[in-house]
Amino acid sequence: MLNNIPKELSPELVKCLMEMGHGDEILLADGNYPALTNNDRVIRADGLGVPTLLEGILKLMPLDTYSDYQAILMETVEGDPRPDIWDTYKKDIGDAFPKYNIKTIERQNFYKYSKGCFAIIQTGETALYGNLILKKGVVVPKD
C-alpha cells in the first residue's frame, strides 16, 4: 500500500495502468466474464465490485478527452430493464469528467472488442451488464 493510491488497487494493476498510453482501453469485467478467452493480460480482483475499482482507478487515470467516447457498456437485450449499476458508473465518471459520453456495444461484438483492450480486470462483480470499458486520456504531470 502507498499514500494517494487507493488501497483496493493491486501493485500489478497500478503498474498496468501506468504502462497504458493515451487511447489504450481497459475492461473492468464482472466475475462471469470469459476474460482469459478474450485477452492475454488478465488481472484478477476477486471479491471486489466494479464500482470500488472504478472509483479507485478514476483517482489516478484521466479519461480520454480527445475521443468521442470515454467509456463503453454492453448493450442490454431488448426488454431488459436499464441496469441500476449504470447509474453508479455514470455518477463516478461524471464526477471525474462532466462532459462524458458512453457508448454501448452489442454483446457478441463486445466480447470481440475486448480482445483489443490493453487488459481485462476480472472483478467479483455480480450485477448484470456490469462490464465497463474505460479509455485512458493524456496525463499532464504537475511539476
Q: Per CB under 8 A, does 143 bind a copy of itself?
A: yes
Subset of residues 108 to 127 that bind a copy of itself, contact rule: CB under 8 A: 118, 124, 126
- Rounded to a whole number of angstroms, the distance between the first and last alpha carbons of the chain is 24
Are 34 and 111 spatial neighbours (Cβ–Cβ below 8 Å)? yes
Q: Per CB under 8 A, does 15 bind a copy of itself?
A: yes
User: Between residues 31 and 71, which has the closer beta carbon with respect to a copy of itself?
Assistant: 31
In order of 12, 14, 48, 130, the CA distances from 105 in angstroms are 28, 27, 24, 13
Rounded to an integer, what distance in angstroms lies between the CA atom of residue 138 and that of residue 22? 5
Subset of residues 78 to 97 that bind a copy of itself, contact rule: CB under 8 A: none
Number of residues that bind a copy of itself (CB under 8 A): 49
- Strand 119-123 relative to strand 42-45, pairing: parallel
User: Between residues 34 and 94, which has the closer beta carbon with respect to a copy of itself?
Assistant: 34
List active site positions. 22, 64, 111
Q: DSSP string of 100-128?
A: --EEEE-HHHHHHHHTTSSEEEEE---ST
Of 27, 28, 35, 134, the one binding a copy of itself by CB under 8 A:
35
Q: Per CB under 8 A, does 101 bind a copy of itself?
A: no
User: Between residues 16 and 28, which has the closer beta carbon with respect to a copy of itself?
Assistant: 16
Supply the minimum distance, in Å, between the C-beta of residue 33 and a copy of itself.
Answer: 5
What is the phi-psi region of residue 100: left when phi exceeds 0, alpha when psi lies from -120 to 50, beta otherwise? beta
In the complex, which residues of this chain contact a copy of itself (CB under 8 A)? 1-24, 31-37, 44-48, 52, 59-62, 118, 124, 126, 138-141, 143
